[in-house]
A and B are shown apart, each in its own frame.
Chain A
């Protein structure tokens, strides 16, 4: 069921396109040798090139180019062997040259395609228009001094990839899923850390609304939204605002807006009339960027397995449902952890344990997949104890908690606490006999037709055996003695 918004005049459809700015992972900046590391004392990572000193010239960083190509390949996009840098001219205190070096007419990456999955399991394709390389600006701070603004140029010149989508997105959910998917892909590729809190990934959101079947109406651009949740909220808030404007007889004007998360609304930043004339022209300090097909092929050969392919392989090789596989490939480290455990074991059992107790423990203890609550080897050993029937599933949960608590190996815990499963039918029969004797009233009820009590008896037997009874054997014994 397509997402629509109900207005006074009927149903409205939302049309969204995203421009994602992703900071490239690289040692140094796009056009200078200064460090591109996040943080550092203000203005500690600034070369004369970054500061726009007279006579300084940019030199393209080959690694940044390679990262953009890898990302393009990950987006199943066309790699343009000819691309060119342009200057985007505007004045701002944290833009040292008075222009940003970007790619306007000839981006390094052309059209591509990304698959997103929605809550209901639907798969949708979102078109990629282009990806281009550009420099980041510095940071202005207006709250550090009574009358002065303070500028930190550490980020000035750091390489960004701007990934532009087609206006194929039709709901806040799709916008969120798309942004998460792009983040997942660049993280898999190691081309951007996708860290939205630190600003290494942020999105400009283009939103318009229309009546079903109409052409596109005027759009507004919401700048610099810095979380998946805010992108989803911003789409909804902006769509509602535009519907209100249209329905009250007004007209949406093309403008740049800001999303205010505290108020949950967008507000105007500058109108089209105030828009900068960026006076783009080819950067004369750089020659066009010509890539050899061989360079692209080499990068392609070195790409890691991407989430979509990995997910399909997991379904195939480990016989797990598509949904489960999706959870496990959410990030590379989780997928690797899963594979380490699942190798040579029951894939489905592994998947269940990871998405169940393991993730729960990770969240509860505040740990991460890189620093897991239980190592892959220990989790595997635990699953082995279940598989070879040393312990049953119930006890395994307790052992697991003990592992989380103490970091001990599962076999040691089982031995120490005597948790081996009881398969001695004599002991089981004795326990059943006692439980039935102690609950004669319930036995009577059962016999008069209250079948549901069967589970109660099994539970009582397990309890009497401190959970160690082999569940199948206990079931069998209860059934037999109840006649």
Chain B
């Protein structure tokens, strides 16, 4: 099962999003023959700076049993966290992950081994173990490494790792005081700031040699409200491949207000009715739906293995004519953006569905090779402990032409989905389920009472045909951590206002 993590008591913290979200319309500025460098004062254990000679030696060792392709992935990641709850800074934390993963491909076979020990002997042994997957007489030699040119899709001026935790704490305090003052029914305010600072090096036997420095930041506010027997929660966040210059107390205030607004709005919510209804999805906050319900089924591993419900649908109409879907790793500053993916392929914008027709899939290197397709920059992995698999980056439904007001007016009785929470999908049947964190009844074209416990249930192939109206107001806001095959990866998503003519709603009453 693939799912957007639904963290349990800290649910709202893991869901993360990106505010604003104009999509970069211009071509990226290519910085030829230079690596994305970590900031000068970011400490990297010098052991991870493997020399060209060492990388080439490891690639050679990895091919020593006759493998067709070898790759070395080196990672050094620092994660900083600070959180506030119950009017106190709960704690500050820091983590360091460092290691080398070595992969050898041979036909459809993958050999993988990793090590967190950087001694030359240990690395050589790791390369040898990964190479064992192949047992061929013909030994290939790796091509000499050439530094790759790296595009730049991150928006980082100030590295968050260089900011002392006391400064980050000021953001948390601001959000806390604004959140608590928002309404007297507010009971708890939790605020957290996390930054991930990751230096990766990818070198492969075809001569690719790429380095990237990735920064992902997130400020999240979660608020609980209580009134008599009634309870509710609200949350909001900003995140992305963004430097610390994007965070200030004013932003913290905005996030806290929005989280407070949602908690108070949902306090009087009534049980949702079950059954089939039309729904309207709010712009920006429901993109997870497309990531989950459709995106996973368009990842090339399931296509190649013929286990995805869309495996034989390329070139066919799989959606209504107004439906176009993209996976775009080049959105400036978005959480899922990649200068290069975890195989050294530059991030790309890939149209998956064009006016209803299935036109492409998402590829990593292995599946692209086996399926004779072009790379799309979607070979991603959680860490050096994992081999890459096809994964989404920033996935969104493209803008349409319908007036958002008309979309709402067209629904006599249905639901307005203001924010989608977590969800999951079976890629075999395409069946999905989502919980809705903020939802309302629509009666005669107007948003009326708030509803709790709404679940959206359906299947990707079915729902795609029921997308009947799409607005022009695309926003890429929602983002989070996607789980697949035991690997967690940051992604984001987006959508314009849209209408689905019919979907199964789960609720507590008939």
Q: Do A and B bind each other?
A: no
